[in-house]
Amino acid sequence: MDTRVADDPSERRRSAIVERVETLYCDLEFGAVREWKTKHPGARAIGYMPVYVPREIIHAAGMLPVGVLGGDLEIVKGDACFQSYICHIPRSTIELGMNGALDCLDGMIFPSICDVIRNLSGMWQILFPGKYVRYFDVPQNFSDAIGGEFYERELRGFIADLEGLSGGKVSDDALRRSIGLYNENRRRVEAMYALRAERPWVVPSSELYLIMRAGALLDVEAHSALLDEYLDAARASRRPPLDMARVALRGTFCEQPPYELVRTLERSGCYIVDDDWMMVQRWYKSDVDTAGDPVKALVGAFLHRSPACPSIYLAEGEKGAELVQCARDVKAEGVLFAAPSFCDPALLDQPMTQAAVARAGLPHTSFLYSESTGQFQVIREQAGTFADSIKLS
């Protein structure tokens, strides 16, 4: 720790928080979920894969939504189900399922993001026949009359499934309350992102990343309390700024980058001032309405307030526009395009988003990673050179 901040009480509070969230990140046995279930006898936990599911509905059914994000573990059984050259997350998720780590989950939701996840949902049904499994489809038509109608049916079907599982009703009031709690959580997340964009030296991306990852495991209220604690400590920080390049990171929306990769980017001289990891926690661009029909409110928020993401259809001319605007808003000096190895959605999007970034005059570079990447020297040199070129131009 910097000697100028070692005696800062906010640093001690921050260290304790970071230690907690790092423990959660490293725990591939889902201890936090098991603990939650012990405290809530009879309540269920439902896993979901990236990038987006309406966690509000799971919460309103009295269940714990749990982000399943694969992990860096040795793949033995996972390679029997998928080609070993594709992205890592489906194989590590199978491995987690087969080694019993996901036994604490009473069901799994596989959102519509790519063929790999679609196939994984089918495999899950075969591998775990006693467990609830849902392939969660989202519309790619954003008109209320077409995509909206389809999505409303999908959401009501999902609610009916959860009611069948729990034996209880998901009332509109419960759903409105859950929507309100997730709105509050998103506001805190956005406050943390805004603080990082303003003073990235007081909110290091490696810490922000762990706090976001904790949101995949903790109950929404516990995560909001954690965000409050962290924001308090970060706002009081006396850490000094460093001469680093401000960059936006894109391509990490599904398979999450390993923590050491985020640390490597920081050590290479990059302040990440925006990113697209853990998108489920930032999905809607503004609050979901808490008045009226809550299902229709979720439908409207998805259709009209979803962020640009490779899993969402955008016409070719629109690709990259949101990224360019975001880069301007957060004063990014360049863009780092990262993509999980063999990720079709990320790599198909990249040429179009890169072209938009280039037209806007923003420097950019790209690299591949996997959640099991262990060697970072090459990425460190590339990102370091990129940061130097920005600072020297």
Q: Does 255 bind ligand SF4 (CB under 6 A)?
A: yes
Rule CB under 6 A: say whether 349 interacts with ligand SF4: no
- Pick one of 68, 116, 133, 249: the residue that binds ligand SF4 (CB under 6 A): 116
Query: CA-CA distance, 309 to 88, in Å (whole number)?
Result: 20
On whether the CB atoms of residues 360 and 272 are closer than 8 A, the answer is: no
Q: Yes or no: say if 369 and 317 are a contact pair by the CB < 8 Å rule.
A: no
Is residue 149 within the footprint of ligand SF4 (CB under 6 A)? no
Minimum CB distance to ligand SF4, residue 258 (Å): 14
117 is a contact residue toward ligand SF4 (CB under 6 A) = yes
Strand 132-136 with 245-250, pairing: unpaired
Classify residue 350 by burial, with Cβ atoms within 10 Å: 0-12, 13-18, 19+. Answer: buried
Task: Based on the shown chain and the rule CB under 6 A, indicate whether residue 390 belongs to the binding site for ligand SF4.
Answer: no
Residues 84-113 that bind ligand SF4 (CB under 6 A): 87, 89-90, 113
- Cα–Cα distance between 48 and 69 in angstroms, integer? 9
Q: Which of residues 289-328 bind ligand SF4 (CB under 6 A)?
A: none
Phi, psi at 272, each rounded to 5° = -80, 115
Q: What is the CA 90 to chain-centroid distance, rounded?
A: 16
Residue 343 as a binder of ligand SF4 (CB under 6 A): the answer is: yes
Cα distance between residue 258 and residue 372, in whole Å: 7
* Residue with Cβ nearer ligand SF4 (78 or 334): 78
Asked if residue 33 binds ligand SF4 (CB under 6 A), the reply is no
Residue 339 Cβ vs ligand SF4, minimum distance, rounded to whole Å: 8
CB 92 → ligand SF4: shortest distance, Å?
Answer: 11
Q: In angstroms, rounded to a whole number, what is the distance separating the alpha carbons of residues 313 and 293?
A: 26
d(CA 356, CA 14): 38
Instruction: Candidates 58-66, 83-91, 97-105, 143-151: pick the segment binding ligand SF4 (CB under 6 A).
Output: 83-91
CB of 189 to ligand SF4, least distance (A): 22
Cβ nearer to ligand SF4, comparing 68 with 105:
68
Rounded to a whole number of angstroms, the minimum distance from the CB of residue 89 to ligand SF4 is: 5
Q: Is 183 exposed, middle or buried, given 0-12, 13-18 or 19+ CB atoms closer than 10 A?
A: middle
Q: Which is nearer to ligand SF4, 103 or 344 (CB)?
A: 344
In the complex with ligand SF4, the residue whose CB is nearer, 117 or 247, is: 117
* Nearest distance, CB of residue 261 and ligand SF4, angstroms: 14
Pick from 212, 345, 387, 390 the residue near ligand SF4 by CB under 6 A.
345
Residues 6 or more apart in contact with residue 68 via CB below 8 angstroms: 47, 48, 49, 93, 96, 102, 105, 108, 216
Binding mask of the shown chain, residues 211 to 250, with x at each position contacting ligand SF4 by CB under 6 A: ----------------------------------------
* Options 58, 81, 114, 298; binder of ligand SF4; rule CB under 6 A: 114
Size of the site for ligand SF4 (CB under 6 A): 14
Give the nearest distance from C-beta 272 to ligand SF4 in angstroms. Answer: 19
Q: In 7-141, where do the E strands start and end?
A: 45-48, 64-67, 107-111, 132-136
| Contact between 384 and 269 (Cβ < 8 Å) | yes
How many CB atoms neighbour CB 291 within 10 A? 7
Specify the residue, 207 or 371, whose C-beta has the smaller distance to ligand SF4. Answer: 371
Q: Is the dihedral of CA 196, 202, 204, 208 positive or negative?
A: negative
Among 131, 344, 368, 384, binds ligand SF4 (CB under 6 A): 344
State the helix-helix crossing angle for 89-98 and 115-127, rounded to 10 degrees.
10
Give the nearest distance from C-beta 115 to ligand SF4 in angstroms.
Answer: 7
**Residues within the interface to ligand SF4 (CB under 6 A):** 87, 89-90, 113-114, 116-117, 254-255, 340, 343-346
